[in-house]
Amino acid sequence: MYIIFDFDGTLADTFALGSQLINEYADRLGYKQIDFAANKDKSARELIKMSGVRFWQIPGLIRFFRKKSVERAGEVKAFDGIPDLVRRLHDEGFSLGIITTNSAQTINIFLEKYELTDFFTYIKPEISLFGKRRALRRARRHLKSDIIYIGDELRDIEACRAVDIPIISVSWGFNSTEILEKNNTGMVAEDVEEVYNFFFNHGKH
């Protein structure tokens, strides 16, 4: 079985840096600043609407912020317990992967920093903001394996449901525990130990 992780907000604590960068360039790039911390119950689509960004602008903005994030990738920290969780799941015999909108450079810098590079055998970076559904379908065809996804957003839940892949939502990322629980009842982890325990209560090797 493959366990595939989201990156931002799941493995890596990029919330503060990402929020800061997005708001820092709001005036220059022509959209409204967003109080992300006060809107953790909102979906990505709702926040885009609030910001005034048009959907045709999204690909260019994503490319811009990927480049900016690489410049500060060394600042990105793992959430508490994540490196240990990765090692424990690998030692239990699970194969591990990452599917993310973030850049390959940022992922590599992060994995090298925490000496986790050798633990991930499937990495698909730089997917489109709403391209996770397609990426998960491709992963299943390529890997020819059962998959469980771990993510922190409503759009992760939506993507996984669309392709019938189970998802564990984590409470320490982009969306609030309450909204995740409402949309993924009984499958929300409050800490890494709960993530680990899910595989032995719900998953199979």
- HSE of 10, CA atoms in CB hemisphere, 13 A: 27
Domain boundaries, the chain: 2-13+77-201, 15-74
| Average pLDDT of the residues in 76-83 | 96
Cα separations in angstroms, 158 against 95, 134, 153, 154, 184: 23, 12, 9, 6, 10
φ, ψ at 104 (rounded to 5°): -60, -40
Q: What is the pTM of this model?
A: 0.91
CA distance 193 to 41: 24
CA distance 140 to 99: 12
CA distance 203 to 168: 11
What is the per-residue pLDDT for 202?
53
Angle at 110 between CA 104 and CA 113, to 5 degrees: 135
Cβ-based neighbour number of residue 97 at 10 Å? 19
Domain 2-13+77-201 belongs to what topology?
Answer: Rossmann fold (3.40.50)
Assigned token pair, 145: 């394996």
Is 80 exceeded by the pLDDT of residue 200? no
Is 60 exceeded by the pLDDT of residue 148? yes
Measured in Å, how far apart are the chain's first and last C-alpha atoms? 6
- HSE of 104, CA atoms in CB hemisphere, 13 A: 3
What is the per-residue pLDDT for 69?
87
pLDDT band at 204 (very low <50, low <70, confident <90, very high): very low
SS3 state at 31:
coil
Is 60 exceeded by the pLDDT of residue 141? yes
Q: Which is it for strands 77-78 and 12-13: parallel, antiparallel or unpaired?
A: antiparallel
- What length does the chain have? 205
Question: Residue 22, class by beta-carbon neighbours within 10 Å (0-12 exposed, 13-18 middle, 19+ buried)?
Answer: buried
Cα separations in angstroms, 170 against 14, 25, 117, 158: 14, 29, 22, 15
| Average pLDDT of the residues in 151-167 | 96
* pLDDT tens track for 86-133: 999 999 999 999 999 999 999 999 999 999 999 999 999 999 888 999
